[in-house]
């Protein structure tokens, strides 16, 4: 889900809003973006705001006018989280936003597995940024957690983390397979499927499958007993 960026200066009539299919704001003419000086916070110095510089006519003169721009909530959260997650050794998996209930769900992980303490640190940081930022509701709920077993992989780091581990793959054709992830580079995925031995005492047989990512619907973690 993405939200349209909003310009918080309704009197600026010359800046037209054009919404693309992805819901982002585009401008019909070149605009200059200016960033305000860094502002202190308990988490270090951060950009206070961004502004668009728009040239408007006043009589026979062209006068620059600055307007504050509020990013879409998703893009703003991603920007805030980037340095913080790097500091904690985490990576961002997904952000889910329910505008109707003002609920923000953030999923993070690490190669070793995210801890409760890391989730709490990210939650406190993000709560501070939301409450002191613009474009967010006054009342909201925030949940920061690990991706969970039932959620499909979203980012390359999840595939890297599960090399040599059991996964479930559902193809667009409807075929579902389970096996050991051998390789995943964003283009192809190699899955080693294990078969029960034909006779007692024999070693199990294996089949190596190679799939293009374009033919995969989802990949999930699979517990193997």
What value does the mean pLDDT take over residues 200-220? 92
The pTM of the whole model exceeds 0.75: no
Edge-to-edge strands of the sheet including 176-184? Answer: 205-212, 188-195, 176-184, 166-171, 216-221
CATH number, domain containing residue 162? 2.30.30.100
Tell me if 35 is assigned to some domain.
Answer: yes
Residue 189 lies in a domain: yes
Contact call for residues 144 and 122 (beta carbons, < 8 A): yes
Query: Mind listing the pLDDT tens digit for each residue in 122-157?
Result: 999 999 999 998 889 999 999 999 998 889 999 999
How many separate domains does the chain show?
Answer: 3
- Does a structural domain hold residue 1? no
Q: What is the CA radius of gyration of the chain?
A: 24
**Which domain range does residue 53 map to?**
6-70
Does residue 131 lie within any of the structural domains?
Answer: yes
Average pLDDT over residues 115-128: 97
* CA–CA gap between residue 191 and residue 189 (Å, rounded): 6
Assigned domain for 151 exists = no
- Domain membership of residue 150 (yes or no) is no
Between 196 and 120, residue with greater pLDDT? 120
Is residue 175 located within the same domain as residue 123? no
Is pLDDT of 77 > 70? yes
Residues 55 and 78 in one domain: no
**Residue 225, pLDDT score:** 61
């Amino acid at each position: 889900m993405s939200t349209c960026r909003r310009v918080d200066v309704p009197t600026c009539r010359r800046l037209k809003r054009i919404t693309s299919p992805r819901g982002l704001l585009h401008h019909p003419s070149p605009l200059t973006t200016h960033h305000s000086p860094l502002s202190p916070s308990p988490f270090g110095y951060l950009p206070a705001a961004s502004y668009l510089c728009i040239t408007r006519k006043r009589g026979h003169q062209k006068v620059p006018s600055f307007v504050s721009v509020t990013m879409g909530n998703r893009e703003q959260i991603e920007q805030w989280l980037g340095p913080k997650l790097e500091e904690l050794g985490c990576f961002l998996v997904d952000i889910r936003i329910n505008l109707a209930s003002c609920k923000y769900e953030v999923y993070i992980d690490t190669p070793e597995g995210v801890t409760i303490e890391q989730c709490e640190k990210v939650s406190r940081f993000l709560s501070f940024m939301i409450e002191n930022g613009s474009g967010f509701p006054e009342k909201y709920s925030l949940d920061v957690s690990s991706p969970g077993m039932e959620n499909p992989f979203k980012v390359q780091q999840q595939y890297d983390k599960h090399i040599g581990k059991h996964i479930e793959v559902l193809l667009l054709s409807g075929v579902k397979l389970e096996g050991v992830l051998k390789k995943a580079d964003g283009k192809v995925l190699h899955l080693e499927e294990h078969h029960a031995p034909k006779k007692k005492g024999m070693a199990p047989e294996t089949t190596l499958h190679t799939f293009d990512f374009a033919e995969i619907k989802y990949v999930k973690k699979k517990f193997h007993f």
